[in-house]
Amino acid sequence: MGTLTMRNPATGEVLGTLPEATPEEAQQAMERARQAFSLWGSTPVAARIHYLRNLRHYLVENGEALAQKISEATGKVALEAYMTEIFITADTIRFYEKHAERMLAPRKVSTPLALAPKTSSIYYKPMGVIAVISPWNYPFQLSVVPVLSALAAGNTVILKPSEVTPSVGLIIEEMFRAVPAPAEIVQVLHGGREAGQALVAARPDKIFFTGSVASGKKIMAQAAEHLIPVELELGGKDPMIVLEDAHLERAAAGAVWGAFTNSGQVCMSVERVYVQERVYPEFLRLVKEKTAALRQSPSGIGEIGSMTSPDQIRIVREHVEEALSRGAVAETGGTFSDEGMFLAPTILTKVTHDMKIMREETFGPVLPIMTFSAEEEAIRLANDSPYGLNASVWSQDKAKARRVALQLASGNVCINDVIVSYANPALPFGGVKESGIGRYRGPEGLQAFTHPVSVIHDPGKRKREINWYPYTEEQQSLFIGLTHTLYGKSGFWPPIKRGERPPLLKAALREWRRLFR
């Protein structure tokens, strides 16, 4: 059994250690989760939502202390921890309090005429035990929001938080202990990749994974052995398109925040900017000015904290140094020391589309900028990527902005803003291409934690059905007639017997009733 070290990346201070879960513990957790499901799965939605409301109260009362602990575990600015981990989670709970019952309520749908007098409905039934496997960049929110969504839909959950920020896994475990539930509906398995693999091997009913493309593919392959459904929220290389009629001051401020917030360790960071030639000099001047004003501080009020993982620093350095060696220019930053976890915010110009910095996920405080001349070129460059998570389009012309936005191969698009798609819990969130599979948040995202069970209900009063045995000539004529009447060009019933006038739909129905009463 391994041990995880809890560390503050900004200061290097060791906060403690935590034992990693073994495969046997994963198996035992699964058995307990299944037992808890037998109760929670049949608990009415209103009662589940009541539990979520208690969690919201806990979050609000303990929010500042929690944000401080998250900041210590990640190196992110405490204000960012509060806004993006506590506030967003509380807001999501509120959304479920208002809308979950409606989104999970059985729904009547239309029934085709040929199936009359049946009625048709969809029931959203919980799936069972959901495995949530989460990353380190927003280690609280990206664990808790999927967990709450799974719970609201009636599932029980086993969470495997990131080994890079194990202390956040611990505070999540404490939160679920502090707000008592009717059964053990959430369990936390601490550990790294092996603990994650053991969780998948314990055969949950669904896997909700947030993390890198490489791990997502491995998890999907392991899950395929048992046909376990997976939802994958993966990486991004989000483009920002600044058209010449954009509000430049706002666009520059958006670019700087979008690229450097959380030290660029955001799946929806602004990872590449395309600016229309005419406004490029002014845009560049503004982003440089705004970047120069940023305060990088390990504590207190500052805009940029430290990086969270040394492995990520190696990737950022590799991308920046490759770009510089091939002719890119560092307008700010661009230098690296072998010590410490703080990276200077870096603006790169003279980049080309074959550099790693424009193709691979950098996940660090880097803002590479290219120019374009025509709208079509910007769209082509933005779509020239294996990723498709989020994108932003900047223009004051509504129609133009929307036209460009809708041509981007991306799961989410912001117009005149960045990253914010995730902030509205009513919007489905997820990627296209290598950015992932599935959606969470919004009605689609909540229903994704259910099996939509279709129920078709016949009153059961007739002795047989139109399509049952024995087959007769009349039945054959009836089907041909119905097909012509309902779906054909003329809408007429073809003659049943030679010389007879073609009756209309009414006659077809009369015949139907006579035959199958």
Residues recognised as catalytic:
233, 267
Q: Shortest approach of ligand NAD to residue 302 CB, angstroms?
A: 23
Range 121-150, binding ligand NAD (CB under 6 A): 133-137, 142
- Contact region with ligand NAD (CB under 6 A), list: 27-35, 62-70, 83-91, 204-212: 204-212
Among 84, 141, 162, 475, binds ligand NAD (CB under 6 A): 162
Residues 199, 203, 206, 212, CA torsion sign = positive
Q: How far is Cα 451 from Cα 41, in angstroms, rounded to an integer?
A: 12
Kindly tell me which of 164 and 248 has the beta carbon lying closer to ligand NAD.
164
CB atoms within 10 A of CB 5: 12
Q: Please name the residue ranges forming H helices in 202-307.
A: 213-224, 248-260, 280-292
Least CB distance from residue 135 to ligand NAD, whole Å? 3
Of 137 and 167, which CB lies nearer to ligand NAD in the complex structure? 137
Q: Which of 107, 193, 278, 462 binds ligand NAD (CB under 6 A)?
A: 193
Residue 137 beta carbon to ligand NAD: minimum distance, rounded to whole angstroms: 5
- DSSP codes joined into one string, 136-157: SSSTTHHHHHHHHHHHHTT-EE
Q: How far is the CB of 69 from ligand NAD (least distance, A)?
A: 18
- In the bound state with ligand NAD, the residue whose beta carbon lies nearer, of 211 and 442, is 211
Element (H or E) spanning 367, and its range?
strand 366-372
Query: What spatial distance separates the first Cα and last Cα of the chain, rounded to whole Å?
Result: 69
Among positions 351-370, residues that touch ligand NAD (CB under 6 A) are: 361, 363
43 versus 392: smaller Cβ distance to ligand NAD:
392
Residue 108 CB, shortest distance to ligand NAD, in Å, is 34
Using the contact rule CB under 6 A, the part of the chain among 157-165, 293-301, 393-401, 501-509 near ligand NAD is 157-165
- For position 160 contacting ligand NAD by CB under 6 A, the verdict is yes
For the record, the structure tokens of 438 come out as 């599935």
Q: For ligand NAD, which residue has the nearest CB? A: 196
Q: How many CB atoms lie within 10 A of CB 12?
A: 10
Residues 220-239 that bind ligand NAD (CB under 6 A): 233-236
Report if residue 71 touches ligand NAD, rule: CB under 6 A: no
Tokens 């979008």, located at residue: 258
Task: Compare residues 212 and 297 and give the one whose CB is closer to ligand NAD.
Answer: 212
> Stretches 144-152, 207-215, 334-342, 401-409: which one binds ligand NAD (CB under 6 A)?
207-215
Name the one range near ligand NAD by CB under 6 A: 31-39, 215-223, 275-283, 464-472. 215-223
Please report whether residue 212 would count as binding ligand NAD according to CB under 6 A: yes
Residue in the block written with tokens 């059994």: 1
Stretch of residues binding ligand NAD (CB under 6 A), selected from 44-52, 74-82, 159-167, 314-322 = 159-167
Neighbours of 326 (CB within 10 A): 14
Q: How far is the CB of 160 from ligand NAD (least distance, A)?
A: 6
CA 320 to chain centre: 28
263 binds ligand NAD (CB under 6 A): no
Cβ-contact 34, 205 below 8 angstroms: no
Beta carbons of 126 and 41 less than 8 angstroms apart: yes
| Count, residues near ligand NAD per rule CB under 6 A | 30
Give the integer Cα–Cα distance in Å for 150 and 453. Answer: 17
Chain center to CA of 220: 16
User: 329-332 and 390-394 as β-strands: parallel, antiparallel, unpaired?
Assistant: unpaired
Q: Between the CA of residue 395 and those of 233, 270, 411, what are the distances in Å?
A: 29, 17, 20
Among 219, 287, 304, 343, binds ligand NAD (CB under 6 A): 219
Among 501, 500, 481, residue whose Cα is nearest residue 114: 481
Give the whole-angstrom CA distance, residue 224 versus residue 476: 43
> What region, left, alpha or beta, does residue 231 occupy, with left being phi > 0 and alpha being psi -120 to 50 degrees?
beta
Instruction: For the segment 375-404, give every residue that binds ligand NAD (CB under 6 A).
Output: 389
CB of 210 to ligand NAD, least distance (A): 5
Interface characters, 417-446, with ligand NAD (x: CB under 6 A) = --------------x----x----------
Min separation Cβ 149 and ligand NAD, Å:
13
Q: What is the DSSP string of 432-466?
A: SGGGEE--BSHHHHHHTTEEEEEEEE----SSS-T
Shortest Cβ distance from residue 386 to ligand NAD (Å)?
A: 12
Q: Which residues bind ligand NAD (CB under 6 A)?
A: 133-137, 142, 160, 162-163, 192-193, 196-197, 200, 210-212, 215, 218-219, 233-236, 267, 361, 363, 389, 431, 436
